[in-house]
Amino acid sequence: MLDTAVHAELAAILPAASLLTAVEDVKPYECDGLTVYRALPAAVVLPETEAQVVAILKTCHAAKVPVVARGAGTSLSGGALPDPNGIVLSLARFKRILAVDALARTAVVQPGVRNLAISEAVAPLGLYYAPDPSSQIACSIGGNVAENAGGVHCLKYGLTVHNVLRVRGVLITGEVVEFGGDAPDSAGYDLLALSIGSEGLLAVITEVTVRLLPKPQVAQVALAAFDAVETAGAAVGAIIAAGIIPAGLEMMDQPATRAVEEFVHADYPLDAAAVLLVETDGTTDEVAAEMAEIRQVLTAAGATSIRVSRDEAQRLLFWSGRKAAFPAVGRISPDYYCMDGTIPRKALPRVLQAIAQWSVEYGLACANVFHAGDGNLHPLILFDANKPGEIERTIAFGDRILELCIEVGGTVTGEHGVGVEKLSPMCRQFGAAELTRFHAIKEAFDELRLLNPGKAVPTLHRCAELGRMHVHHGELRFPDLPRF
């Protein structure tokens, strides 16, 4: 329950409809896209101006009340999981595009603006915003910045960090700060890069300046089928080794393609063990030349069939399947657990083979969807939370995948962040010295650790309890948190 004095101060800052405390009102904020763990906040606040954000944070800082900033709630690592003793600060009402500069190819937007809305707004100018997460129709740009989101075209055009020029935000003390700017470089430490992917631990984002790109003249995608998942994984490495950097290079295995085909009818080959989507864009001549190279490499790598989009409608149809992979899997399973690890491309065959073996071992189906070009894996473990033991086995399976990512030289996240989901695997990836530095950075911005506490960086005590470099398979990471 929110302290009476704090409630009174927040009520003086916000209209009555913007301060939620009733259980039925705060219930929708109990989790983000990671639904395994849930918690009710003491209150939810919905400011509309930066001045209100400043006042809210000053109040919470003075009263030592934890604050969890929240965007659209589409994140998949529990990064927006509420603190039961704190407030959720929703940026949903910050949804204006403040300025567009077609000459400089930039847009200034508020954090609640949907990712796709930016490209829709600047399309008449022949421009677009490149990062395109599968949830782009709903996810907000502020959340994209907090998690350093990617998307199916990040291989060629980069993650959020490569497409943001400036971030404006508010520290827990109420101080307004700006990182980055219009210049190509700035003196001092690169605090812009530090803020992107900081998962709400350092500041509450109130404004973002993004980089816009000219829309390619032509784009074409090849849909290649393979009779073995390992063969498709090896083909990914062959494409990159040939010096080709596609606009997009995505992979799905048979369980994923079958789920997608039943959902959106994307014309995928259902007999294939795996499919690759390989896109090239540019001028007509560039696309024709690169597509010819792509077909040659795919054929040599063992593709059983290759279809190239004949027009824009078919290109979008092919991509609609990949974009709809998560909801498609949601139709065939009561629940699914989406993992997010990144590995060197050369390790794809080994990791895919291991996932198949563990799927049998744990008795849980797994549909695999990958940003294959940059080695970002999204295994979707299917389970039923109503069946005793399935949550525990699911988490153990997921931990094994992340451990293997580390073992082959990768990392525990590619774009979903750490949140609460990957705190234990972080103990495997980093040692005490690195974690101590991470905490020191947090304290430099937020000495009382009030912004999104308990997320992204595990405590040394937690890692010591886990044996520092060992994750206890089959044990819930947060037994004290309510779940299904």
- Does residue 477 belong to any structural domain of this protein? no
pLDDT above 70 for 481: no
What is the mean predicted confidence (pLDDT) over 440-469?
Answer: 91
User: pLDDT per residue over 280-333, tens digit each?
Assistant: 999 999 999 999 999 999 999 999 999 999 999 999 999 999 999 999 999 999
- Same structural domain, 181 and 155: yes
Average pLDDT over residues 423-429: 93
**DSSP code of 114?**
B
Residues 78 and 29 in one domain: yes
Of the candidate ranges 10-24, 161-175, 176-190, the one whose mean pLDDT is the lowest: 176-190
pLDDT given for residue 206 in this prediction: 98
Domain endpoint, select from 62, 90, 118: 90
Of 38, 69, 90, the one marking the end of a domain is: 90
* Verdict on whether the full-model pTM lies above 0.85: yes
Domains in the chain, number: 4
Question: Residue 482: its pLDDT value, please?
Answer: 44
Mean pLDDT value across residues 165-183: 96
Q: What's the CATH number where 288 sits?
A: 3.30.70.2190
Residue 478: pLDDT over 60: no
Dump pLDDT digits (tens) for 266-288.
Answer: 999 999 999 999 999 999 999 99
Strand partners, 13: none
What is the pLDDT averaged over residues 83-100?
A: 98
pLDDT, one tens digit per residue, over 27-36 is: 999 999 988 8
pLDDT for res 184: 79
- Residue 478 within a domain: no
Helix, strand or coil, per DSSP, at residue 280: strand
Asked whether residue 302 is domain-assigned, the answer is yes
Helix (H, G, I), strand (E, B) or coil at 2: coil
Summarised one tens digit per residue, pLDDT across range 400-415 is 999 999 999 999 999 9
Looking at the DSSP bridge assignments, the partners of residue 250 are: 277
Would 483 be classed as within a structural domain? no
pLDDT tens, residue by residue, 212-267: 999 999 999 999 999 999 899 999 999 999 999 999 999 999 999 999 999 999 99
What is the residue-averaged pLDDT of the chain? 94
Domain of residue 86: give its range: 4-90
* 481 lies in some domain: no
- pLDDT score recorded for residue 474: 39
- Residue-level pLDDT at 415: 92
The CATH code of the domain that includes 84 is 3.30.43.10
pLDDT exceeds 70 at position 477 = no
User: Greater confidence, 466 or 103?
Assistant: 103
* pLDDT at residue 469 in the model: 45
Same domain, yes or no, for 322 and 198? no
CB 46 within 8 A of CB 93: yes
Check which CATH number belongs to the domain holding 405 and give it.
3.30.70.2740
Answer yes or no: do 244 and 175 share one domain: no
Residues 226, 185, single domain; the answer is no
pLDDT tens-digit map of 117-144: 999 999 999 999 999 998 999 999 999 9
**Residue that finishes a domain, picked among 288, 305, 327:** 327
349 part of a folded domain: yes
Both 337 and 371 in one domain: the answer is yes
- Tell me what pLDDT residue 367 has: 96
Mean pLDDT calculated for residue range 148-160: 94
Q: Could you tell me if 192 and 224 lie in one domain?
A: no
Domain shared by 246 and 321, yes or no: yes
Whether 36 and 131 share a structural domain: no
